[in-house]
Structure 1
Amino acid sequence: MYLHGSSKINAAGHLEIGGCDVVELKQTYGTPLYIMDEELIRRRAREYRQAFEASGLTFQVAYASKAFSTLAMCRIADEEGMSLDVVSDGELYTALKAGFPAHRIHFHGNNKTPDEIEMALDAKIGCFVADNFIELQMLQAIASDRGEKVNVLLRVTPGVEAHTHEYISTGQTDSKFGFDIQNGTAIEAVRTAAQLPNLELLGLHSHIGSQIFETDGFEMAVERVAGFARSVKEQLNVEFKVVNLGGGFGIRYTEGDTPLAVAEYVKAITDGVKKHFEGIAAQLPEIWVEPGRSIVGDAGTTLYTVGTSKDIPGVRKYVAVDGGMTDNPRPALYESKYEAMLANRAGDANEETVSIAGKCCESGDMLIWDVELPKPNTGDLLAVACTGAYNYAMASNYNRIRRPAVVFVKNGASDLVVRRESLDNITGNDVIPARLEKQGAQVK
């Protein structure tokens, strides 16, 4: 397993993250356990900020909270000078409860409800990223009723498809997101937004996909968005103050992944903006980006305890752990690949190829197919790398399995940032109707 950030093998032969021995973390917090390398999270955030500062452009780096949203993570994003993207009232509530400055919050989503819009306006967030004509009219109506003006970016699809899994490609023409540039919908959206009196049209938003390992897609997106901005200026005399070029910057999950350094992605974007937006307006637009996975993805490690195994001679050996698709649904959803190691025997030589199975009553609950490990024994600790993004965020209670705890580790200290769910949490929202009360069994 490739060691990211502060991860290393210590003198005891154990995996150590942020100066914390994971065997001791297991003893303190149990498993499954999400372990987040706080220093690596902060380092990634600073890499973005420093790269943009070197460009000389005005910018915002907005953390995409859908990747991993907790109160503590919102605090770190604030401390590192980031803005924040939210996509629901839950993500917005988390940010506000953490004390995140509302004026640096951007509200995304293709189906915002009136209640979510009201909540965001009450908080005085920085802007909405509008996704369709219904939303524009809804924003106008609600803002008019309140006597307010709303900052808006229009999400456009530039017709650029990133080279990623089809389920996470979002910039192509056939997408549920945004106004299409190629079929004329986008310019009609600009015309509409510019005429609505309670909307302040700041600019455009574009996102071309996820897990992108080259700059070509971003460069093409910048060129197409700039070409659209030029057409808007010529046809409608509307200028954009902000251009948001989204996220999608890749990370290394396995040996075959080849992400670029943060600075390379940023330089490609900023060089493209300087080249293609020159002369469209009096000054170059402010550039926003939205890294999520690349901030927290490789900072996360999930720790499991090995349980049972099943050896099918000549076919496969299954090794089961105490988690699975409930804490990491990505292999089932996207066929995502991961690397792993026996964290309590990190110095042992690999002996066999096994497949890591989860504990759910589901044949598809497989975390890793065919990974080389020392011969796993019941009670060993399995560490799976790069689980910081979209694992906790997408976790579920399938089979009524409790979601794991989350700890931040840094400089030899660990801090609990999300408690492990209790059995009472599992039934906490259940209600037994009066007509069924006598039939309800009580667990003591």
Structure 2
Amino acid sequence: MPVSPSASPLAPTWLRLPDDPNLLAPSVWPSSAARDADGGLVVGEVSARTLADEYGTPLYVIDEADVRERATATREAFESAFAAVGTSAKVYYAGKAFLSVGVARWMAELGLGIDVASLGEFMVALAADVDPARIGFHGNNKSLGEIASGVRMGVGSIVLDSRLEIDRVADEAARAGVRQKVRLRVNSGVHASTHEFLATSHEDQKFGVPLGEVEELVALIRGRDSLDFLGLHCHIGSQIFDTGGFSESARRLLAVHKRLLDGGPVPELNLGGGFGIAYTENDDPTPIGAIARQMAAAIAETCAELGIGIPAIAVEPGRSIVGPGGITVYEVGMVKDVTVDVDGLDATRRYVSVDGGMSDNLRTALYGADYTARIASRVSTAAPQLVRVVGKHCESGDIVVGAEYLPADIAPGDLLAVAATGAYCWSLSNNYNYLGRPAVVAVRDGETHLLIRRETEADLLRRDADFDPTADGSAR
């Protein structure tokens, strides 16, 4: 009788030993993810093997229907929830999560605005024919050129991040002969991602202005004829699973909002984004509909207590829209077992090396992020084995998935898929060790659409000013 496998002493406490290491948890994988008759992973009715053969690996794959459904559900949830309390809501897609011309077009078609944080992101949105009036421009250090481009191209709003930016934006708007809509980013003292809801007012971070300076700065904004004050903006963190932090932050902001009404209209309140997603089965984020309803109820209650009308609300989700619909497909290269001493006993950690790494997913190295992985080219009856998925870079911290149980017979040539990589993986991708950034392909109803082409070694060499493409040995 076979002996049942036991959990590895090297596994983190949250990682459960699976009964079947081939299963795809619906909470983690794209809505269309399934296994085909041969056991291969299929997304958008296209197999991982077909995608790898056509586009190569590593490869970012986006389930277009999943992303569109989440974008629509988010917009409808916030519009409905805030209509129920007597106001309106705007949803801006946070382009920093992942932005391409194609994705920007999806968001515009679905009625979302776009939130950008650089001239590059702004130009991508414009290239997608997004109405600039539906774009918000963020950033703690917007250059004079970025400000000028935003103002002169008719950007819908600029988020002022400091006292200095008030004058910079006002002066540029005056030169352009326009009245620029602006928001003021505020530090509410709430850090929801770490549950420090009662942080002091002395914020040690680069973004925004302290609550205690808001009234003075809004007076300066209102004193400039070229600026049109929309309201306050706040972003409290990322990967947030509940609404407690948003409610507390809104309460603090609305107290200042009430005082600002004495000096003129304050039509909006922007509460930013940061809604979390499931990277592993251990994660349990609040559904977006519940988040919208709970936020609306808390804001309505606070406004009633303060005796003020409910302003129009804006939010800026990115990860929660594009993250779950994305996966990354790799090919396994090397498999190596390492013996580790655990309290005097030997334990085995299996290292599975793939053809990418921290150049295509920097989040694990940066934040210790956890991910879910599965063999994508087949299913296996082998027992689950604790593995660490690592990349091919010259860094010991080049880890893609820190801990996962995969079939023990995982071998070179297998395709491996990592779930929930739609947000921030391509955005943070880089050329460390001169690896080209992977392609991004959208899949839907059995069809593929290339969103971003793969970088080749020739692409990288073309940026080198001393490279002579006519010399022998040039990259092709």
TM-score between both structures, scaled by the size of structure 2: 0.87
Superposed displacement of residue 207, structure 1: 0.9
Q: Does 1:60 align with 2:94?
A: no
Could you say which residue in structure 2 is the equivalent of 1:206? 234
CA separation of 1:267 and 1:165: change in aligned 2, threshold 3 A: closer
Query: Equivalences for 1:347-358 in 2 at 5 Å?
Result: 348-358=381-391
Query: Equivalences for 1:44-193 in 2 at 5 Å?
Result: 44-55=70-81, 56=83, 57-164=87-194, 173-181=203-211, 184-193=212-221
Superposed displacement of residue 125, structure 1: 1.0
Deviation digits for residues 192-229 of structure 1 (CA, Å, limit 9, x no counterpart): 11111211101111111001111111111111111111
Could you say which residue in structure 2 is the equivalent of 1:443? 474
Q: Is the 8 A contact 1:229 1:239 kept in 2?
A: no
CA separation of 1:172 and 1:46: change in aligned 2, threshold 3 A: farther
Aligned equivalent of 1:268, options 281, 286, 294: 294
CA separation of 1:32 and 1:83: change in aligned 2, threshold 3 A: same
Deviation digits for residues 273-327 of structure 1 (CA, Å, limit 9, x no counterpart): 2222348787431110000000001110000000012222344221100000000
Aligned equivalents of 1:87 and 1:268: distance in 2?
28
Structure 2 alignment gaps of length 5 or more? 1-23, 340-346
Single out whichever of 322-331 and 221-230 deviates more from structure 2: 221-230
Superposed displacement of residue 413, structure 1: 1.1
Q: Is the 8 A contact 2:152 2:176 kept in 1?
A: no
Counterpart secondary structure, 1:277: helix
Aligned equivalent of 2:268, options 223, 239, 242: 242
Q: Does 1:345 align with 2:371?
A: no
Aligned equivalent of 1:409, options 432, 435, 443: 443
Q: Is the 8 A contact 2:59 2:330 kept in 1?
A: yes
Q: Is the 8 A contact 2:375 2:416 kept in 1?
A: yes
Single out whichever of 102-111 and 422-431 deviates more from structure 2: 422-431
Q: Does 1:292 align with 2:318?
A: yes
Could you say which residue in structure 2 is the equivalent of 1:329? 362
Q: Which has the higher helix share?
A: 1
Q: Is the 8 A contact 2:260 2:266 kept in 1?
A: no
Q: Does 1:318 align with 2:351?
A: yes
Single out whichever of 2-11 and 321-330 deviates more from structure 2: 2-11
For 2:248, the aligned partner's letter is M
Superposed displacement of residue 149, structure 1: 1.1
Superposed displacement of residue 347, structure 1: 5.1
Aligned equivalent of 1:227, options 235, 255, 258: 255
Single out whichever of 274-283 and 390-399 deviates more from structure 2: 274-283
Deviation digits for residues 323-381 of structure 1 (CA, Å, limit 9, x no counterpart): 00000000000000001000112354443211111001111101112311112111000
Q: Is the 8 A contact 1:7 1:15 kept in 2?
A: yes
CA separation of 1:21 and 1:114: change in aligned 2, threshold 3 A: same
CA separation of 1:81 and 1:177: change in aligned 2, threshold 3 A: same
Q: Is the 8 A contact 1:206 1:245 kept in 2?
A: yes
Deviation digits for residues 167-215 of structure 1 (CA, Å, limit 9, x no counterpart): xx9x98222111111xx21222111111112111011111110011111
RMSD: 2.2
Aligned equivalents of 1:158 and 1:370: distance in 2?
36
Counterpart secondary structure, 2:323: helix
Aligned equivalents of 2:380 and 2:265: distance in 1?
59
Aligned equivalent of 2:394, options 353, 356, 361: 361
Could you say which residue in structure 2 is the equivalent of 1:251? 277
Superposed displacement of residue 109, structure 1: 0.4
Structure 1 alignment gaps of length 5 or more? none
For 1:8, the aligned partner's letter is A
Counterpart secondary structure, 2:67: helix
In percent, how many aligned pairs have the same letter?
A: 40
For 1:370, the aligned partner's letter is A
Q: Is the 8 A contact 1:239 1:281 kept in 2?
A: no
Aligned equivalents of 2:100 and 2:293: distance in 1?
30
How many residue pairs align between the two structures?
434
Q: Does 1:371 align with 2:394?
A: no
Q: Is the 8 A contact 1:164 1:210 kept in 2?
A: no
CA separation of 1:256 and 1:245: change in aligned 2, threshold 3 A: same
Deviation digits for residues 105-127 of structure 1 (CA, Å, limit 9, x no counterpart): 00000000010011112211101
Aligned equivalents of 2:64 and 2:202: distance in 1?
35
Q: Is the 8 A contact 1:32 1:304 kept in 2?
A: yes
TM-score between both structures, scaled by the size of structure 1: 0.93
Counterpart secondary structure, 1:96: helix
Aligned equivalents of 2:349 and 2:437: distance in 1?
29
Aligned equivalents of 2:449 and 2:213: distance in 1?
49
